[in-house]
């Protein structure tokens, strides 16, 4: 990244929006807009995040603004929490750094008919059963073994592949973003190495910030939406946060390593080599999009298979049926994805390619792409905390379509690097600290608990207040963790 010699100008639009004018840096095609309050903005200034927002504004074909959500922090190329739409019909580009390494890292929420009071004294045992049945950790392999041919079929079919093999019910598809499939997936675009890495990892959590949490709904903030989702105070839910495992990482890695030359081939001059991009309509752009879609479909299958193991564990543990327990999918949303979507620019509706990196789709009530069940309230938005911090359910709002291409935040956002988090917690027993708060944790590696300690993240309550106040999404329910599985 080029050194910045002058301070980045930030013009206050209102209490929750800040503008980086395109006059700040030669080559910026649009302004940058950062969503934050004063407190979160101070944190954003502590790394290169704001400069990355400005860098993204250089992308050919970018439309509107280079956007950053309030959980923004430094990432590869794009800021994490970054959003950018490009026009494929006006030399618009796709940048793998704008989608990320963990393709379709995302979250799904499963509701139950169980009250927290029914778990008294049994939470630890249930956490242990989930840990025993859902593989996690670096390089973990799952219960499903695929041939390369079977894997290619899965990559192209999306999560319908899992449903056809009885890892869930057809109803689950309707409550998954894009019905669990990007149709542009072409398995021939995936390398042999990507296929090898992915073939035995389906149905696994992985490591890092990925988790499976048992949570309790501790506050309802928007009753009508909560009722539509079947959420009530004191209810136990399960949140799954994971992505496309080694397959998605390999797809991204192969492209970011070779695309500096690709960008040069098309005369694309950008301030950061990590932003390397290609025209959407170029052969290289089309090849990446086909492989990226495979990664997205892998992740939806991954979360679907984990959902199946969760349901099995709950049915065995409580010795009753899924019908009795509920175990219904509320929704599944992607955090790292690029999609072709129709959006209005003034009076004209256009097809745009929307990069969302550490950002969540947040379509409003009445949008044709959300389930009929939610058409009056808007698309559910799932904002995960981490171990000791709360998670939130929100719904998309009309202002998001006007301001952010129907997008909101995706989590709290890191405040400490993993290395700094380990240093800050040296000598502490994180699992014991959390148990004192009534949170039972099982982890494959103790290092992960130190890397993902709650204080390594920003205050998720602050982040969701900003997107609520800015009109991007409305808070529905707050959920606190009682049991956590980490890699």
- The CATH class, in words, for 106-253+279-332+375-398+417-486 is alpha beta
- Residues 414, 408, 299, 227, CA torsion sign: positive
pTM of the model: 0.95
Q: How far apart are CA 395 and CA 477, in angstroms?
A: 10
pLDDT band at 261 (very low <50, low <70, confident <90, very high): very high
What pLDDT is attached to residue 267? 96
Residue 124 CB-density burial (10 A; 0-12 exposed, 13-18 middle, 19+ buried): middle
**Higher-pLDDT residue of 195, 135:** 195
- How confident is the model at residue 1, as a pLDDT? 43
Q: At 259, list the tokens.
A: 């695309």
107, 248 contact by CB (below 8 A): no
Say what the pLDDT of residue 4 is.
43
Q: What is the pLDDT of residue 6?
A: 65
User: Which residue in the block uniquely carries the two structure tokens 């990244």?
Assistant: 1
Six token digits for residue 15: 């209490």
Buried b (16+ CB within 10 A) or exposed e, 25-57: beebebbbbbbbbeebbebbeebbbbbbbbbbb
Three-state DSSP class for 188? helix
- List pLDDT tens digits, range 188-242: 999 999 999 999 999 999 988 899 999 999 999 999 999 999 999 999 999 999 9
Mean pLDDT to the nearest integer, 296-325: 97
Cβ-contact 63, 91 below 8 angstroms: no
Question: What's the chain's average pLDDT?
Answer: 94
Q: Tell whether the model's pLDDT for residue 5 goes beyond 70.
A: no
Q: What are phi and psi of 241, to 5 degrees?
A: -125, 105
Contact at 8 Å (CB) between 222 and 395?
Answer: yes
**Residue linked to tokens 């280079």:** 66
Task: Give me the active site residues, please.
Answer: 410
Query: How many angstroms separate the CA atoms of 158 and 115, rounded?
Result: 33
Residues with Cβ within 8 Å of residue 352, at least 6 apart in sequence: 63, 85, 86, 87, 88, 92, 340, 341, 342, 343, 405
Nearest residue to 331 (alpha-carbon basis) of 105, 109, 182, 170: 109
Which residues, other chains included, contact 417 with Cβ-Cβ below 8 Å and sequence gap of 6+?
Answer: none
Q: Report which of residues 307 and 457 the model is more confident about.
A: 307
For 455, residues 6+ apart whose C-beta sits below 8 A from its C-beta are 415, 416, 421, 424
Neighbour tally for 420: CB within 10 Å: 13
Out of 137-141, 307-311, 419-423, 467-471, pick the least confident: 137-141
CB burial class (10 A; 0-12, 13-18, 19+) of residue 146? middle
Position of tokens 């909101």? 408
Q: What is the pLDDT of residues 353-397, one digit of tens each?
A: 999 999 999 999 999 999 999 999 999 999 999 888 899 999 999
Q: How far apart are CA 153 and CA 285, in angstroms?
A: 22
Q: How far apart are CA 409 and CA 423, in angstroms?
A: 28
CB-count burial class (<10 Å; 0-12, 13-18, 19+) for 348: exposed
Tokens 């999609």 label which residue? 339
pLDDT of residue 175: 98
Ramachandran area for residue 362 (φ above 0: left; ψ -120 to 50: alpha; else beta)? beta
Would you say 182 and 291 are in contact if contact means Cβ atoms under 8 Å apart? Answer: no
Tokens of 192: 């042999």
Contact predicate 451/208, CB 8 Å: yes
Spatial distance between the Cα atoms of 335 and 331, rounded to a whole number of angstroms: 13
User: What is the rounded (10 degree) CA torsion for 134, 138, 142, 145?
Assistant: 170
């Amino acid at each position: 990244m080029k050194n910045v010699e002058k301070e980045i100008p930030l013009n206050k639009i209102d209490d929750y929006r800040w503008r980086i004018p395109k006059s700040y840096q030669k080559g910026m095609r649009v302004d940058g807009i950062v969503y934050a309050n004063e407190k979160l903005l101070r944190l954003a200034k502590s790394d290169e995040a704001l400069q990355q927002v400005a860098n993204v504004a250089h992308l050919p074909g970018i439309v509107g603004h280079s956007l950053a959500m309030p959980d923004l922090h430094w990432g590869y190329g794009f800021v994490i929490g970054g959003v950018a739409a490009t026009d494929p019909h006006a030399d618009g580009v796709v940048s793998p750094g704008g989608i990320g390494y963990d393709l379709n890292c995302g979250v799904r929420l499963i509701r139950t008919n169980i009250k927290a009071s029914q778990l008294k004294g049994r939470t630890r045992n249930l956490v242990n059963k989930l840990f025993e049945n859902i593989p996690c950790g670096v390089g973990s392999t799952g219960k499903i073994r695929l041939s390369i041919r079977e894997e290619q079929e899965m990559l192209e079919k999306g999560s319908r592949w899992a449903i056809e093999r009885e890892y869930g019910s057809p109803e689950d598809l309707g409550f998954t973003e894009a019905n669990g499939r990007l149709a542009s997936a072409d398995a021939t675009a995936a390398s042999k190495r990507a296929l090898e890495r992915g073939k035995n990892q389906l149905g696994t959590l992985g490591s890092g910030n990925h988790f499976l949490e048992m949570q309790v709904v501790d506050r309802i903030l928007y009753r009508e939406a909560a009722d539509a989702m079947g959420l009530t105070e004191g209810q136990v839910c399960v949140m799954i946060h994971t992505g496309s495992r080694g397959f998605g990482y390999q797809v991204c890695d192969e492209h970011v390593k070779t695309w500096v030359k690709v960008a040069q081939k098309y005369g694309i001059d950008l301030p950061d080599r990590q932003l390397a991009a290609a025209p959407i309509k170029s052969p290289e752009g089309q090849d990446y999009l086909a492989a990226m879609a495979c990664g997205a479909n892998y992740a939806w299958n991954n979360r679907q298979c984990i959902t199946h193991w969760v349901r099995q564990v709950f049915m065995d543990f409580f010795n009753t049926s899924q019908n009795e327990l509920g175990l219904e999918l509320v929704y599944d949303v992607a955090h790292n994805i690029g999609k072709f979507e129709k959006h209005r620019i003034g009076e004209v509706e256009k097809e745009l390619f929307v990069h969302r990196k550490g950002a969540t789709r947040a379509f409003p009530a009445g949008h044709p792409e959300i389930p009929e069940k939610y058409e009056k309230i808007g698309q559910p938005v799932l904002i995960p905390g981490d171990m000791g911090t709360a998670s939130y359910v929100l719904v998309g709002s009309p202002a998001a379509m006007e301001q952010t291409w129907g997008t909101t935040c995706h989590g709290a956002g890191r405040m400490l690097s993993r290395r700094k988090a380990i240093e800050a917690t040296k000598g502490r027993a994180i699992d014991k600290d959390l148990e004192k708060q009534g949170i039972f944790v099982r982890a494959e590696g103790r290092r992960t608990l130190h890397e993902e300690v709650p204080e390594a993240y920003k205050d998720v309550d602050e982040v969701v207040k900003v997107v609520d106040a800015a009109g991007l999404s409305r808070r529905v329910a707050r959920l606190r963790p009682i049991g956590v599985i980490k890699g």
